[in-house]
Amino acid sequence: MITQKGQSIEDKSMEIIDSEIGPHSYSPEEWIIVKRVIHSTADFDFARDGKIVFHKDAIKNGIDALQKGCNIIVDVNGVIGGLNKDNLQRFGNQVICSISDTKVVEEAKKLNKTRAQTAMRMAAKQMNGGIVAVGNAPTALLEVIQMIKESVTAPALVVGIPVGFVCAAESKDDLRGTDIPYITNIGRKGGSPCASAIINALFKILSAKNSKQ
């Protein structure tokens, strides 16, 4: 639970972001998400050259899935650390990260794949109707895209924002070329804090909608 002082600092940060970005083309709900990513990284590029991109059904699918208590499958433990635990408890969402599981490590060695790839493949059933959040490993995102093409799994939303020099930008290009509801960005930038920020922002939108009902 954020303290009053903490909330004051966050509110001031959001005001600074608004003032420095100025006019933009994002919808109000999209801007909540973009602004949260900028807040978590202090990087305005996420609203400019490396901008965040939304599938037309991304936000609706995401908040509907969270409302239903969907699983959230992440590629690395760093994403878990940034998630708002109060929201997870409130809506009953289970966060799944199996990259360090013994079975995953053994299977990855056997198949000569990355642990991130293998962890995603082994979580196929748990992804159905859930949200996949990839903040670190491009191979995890590419594996999820391939699984969906194979009809092995059907997540409600893919948050694909891995960081890096090898296949990071390319994996996001592939994601934007699909019909999968997605939230991603352009280029090499990304990271676990970005993935966490996007999920937290979706919870924020959901909580605001529920408070109006």
Whether residue 138 contacts residue 163, with contact meaning beta carbons closer than 8 Å, is answered with no
Question: DSSP per residue over 52-112, as a string?
Answer: EEE-TTHHHHHHHHHHTT--EEESSHHHHHTS-HHHHHHHTPPEE--TT-HHHHHHHHHHT
Whether residue 57 contacts residue 181, with contact meaning beta carbons closer than 8 Å, is answered with yes
Q: Which two tokens stand for residue 131?
A: 């949200």
**Of these residues, 39, 55, 121, 172, which one is catalytic?**
39
Active-site residue flag, 39: yes
Task: Report how far residue 5's alpha carbon sits from residue 25's, in angstroms, rounded to the nearest whole number.
Answer: 32
Supply the residues annotated as catalytic.
Answer: 39
